[in-house]
Structure 1
Amino acid sequence: MAALTAISLAMGIAELIGPKVVGLFAGDKGEQVAEQVISIAQGVTNEPDPVTSLSMLRGEPALAAEFQLALLQQESSLVAMAYEDRADARQMYLGSEAKTADKISQQVMSWNVWFVLALVVINAGAVFLLKEEAAVLATVSNILGIVIKSLLDERKDVTGFYLGGSLDGREASSDLRNKA
């Protein structure tokens, strides 16, 4: 089955259970994950055609519930498949000659804190100056809050890339594979 077709069909099927599975369709293993989701749906509906299978799941709540249960039972293997291609990303980058990410990371770590502090001061000034305009103040504060969170998330992502998360990608992938 073509990659785009498999992923689009699987996304149609996965929309029945929410966005949790849809994120697994990204990356090099996305097509394999999508084909596995389609296979689970076909098994539940006893229908070889994936499009008909999707229609049946949408039209029959009992089948959709049975599909959700089957998908939950296979969740760890689907997650393991999706994360296999990302397991060695950090080591592959550290061994490469391209160090563009190092430069970007240095900028993020150096400047984002100052931008956050400036935005906090601007927010405090807005609270003082716009105390009579509640709607404008709420809008400005919300926008500044979103930007501050984005800047802090960038720092978290850089730190996670270089220092790893709570569990290294290779370990997480092998642990998930062992559970499957």
Structure 2
Amino acid sequence: MSGSPISAAFGLAQFIPSIARWLAGEKAEEVAQNVLNIAKRITGIEDSPDIIRLLLEQPELVVEFQRAILNLEAEMELAVMQDKQDARLRDMALIKAGRNNTRADIMVISAAGGLISCLVTLAYYSEFLPGEAVGIISTVAGIFGSCLKDAYAFEFGSSRESKMKDTTMAALFERDF
């Protein structure tokens, strides 16, 4: 297989764009390799440009590839949900034992403090800072905001849309293609 697994998997994302969202983070290489293994199995070809060429020529193989990737995505979504559930169970066990999750409290307070610091800096000093610094501080503020959003989603559950996605993914996983 020519090139890195991640770049080859990005090439395959033209057939199912949702692949791209899984190709970042600590498991990107593993996911990319899984995508490539699926493509190899379906096409019987080892080289990524040849795989893409064959998929472009044979739509029936694209459908089979898409189904296999949907199954892989369902498995990954279920693993993420299971991981969150395990963490929630850990928190509940700590509470039942009369202990606090100090680490989580520090993380949330730090994210809130970081967000407030960025916003105060932007509010009072943005006119004195170069545009690049304002852009970087705004990006960092967005990261802190995202951390807080994730903490709230973990603590209070998912939104309605996310619950619908969870239900859909569970149904997809249970259904045989």
AA partner of residue 159 (structure 1): Y
Aligned to 1:140: 133
Cα distance in 2, alignment partners of residues 64 and 104 from structure 1: 52
**1:71 pairs with 2:65:** yes
Query: What's the TM-score, normalizing by structure 2?
Result: 0.63
TM-score of the aligned structures, taking structure 1 as reference length: 0.62
Match of 1:21 among 19, 23, 28: 19
1:1-180 matched pairs, under 5 angstroms? 9=5, 11=6, 13-18=8-13, 20-21=18-19, 23=22, 26=27, 30=31, 34-40=36-42, 42=43, 48-51=44-47, 54-58=48-52, 62-63=56-57, 68-96=62-90, 102-130=101-129, 136=130, 138-165=131-158, 166-167=162-163, 171=167, 173-178=169-174, 180=177
Residues 172, 55 of structure 1: alpha-carbon distance in 2 compared, 3 angstrom cutoff: same
Select between 151-160 and 89-98 the one with higher mean Cα deviation. Answer: 89-98
Which is greater in Rg?
Answer: 1
> % of aligned pairs identical?
14
| Unpaired runs of at least 5, structure 2 | 95-99
Contact 1:57 1:63 in 2 (8 A): no
Q: What residue identity is the alignment partner of 1:146?
A: T
Q: Which moved more, 1:57-66 or 1:80-89?
A: 57-66
Contact 2:55 2:61 in 1 (8 A): no
1:45 maps to: none
The alpha carbon displacement at 1:36 in A equals 2.5
Unaligned 5+ runs, structure 1: 43-47, 131-135
Residue 159 (structure 1) shift = 1.8
Amino acid in structure 2 at the alignment position of 1:16: G
**What is the Cα-based RMSD across aligned positions, in Å?**
3.9
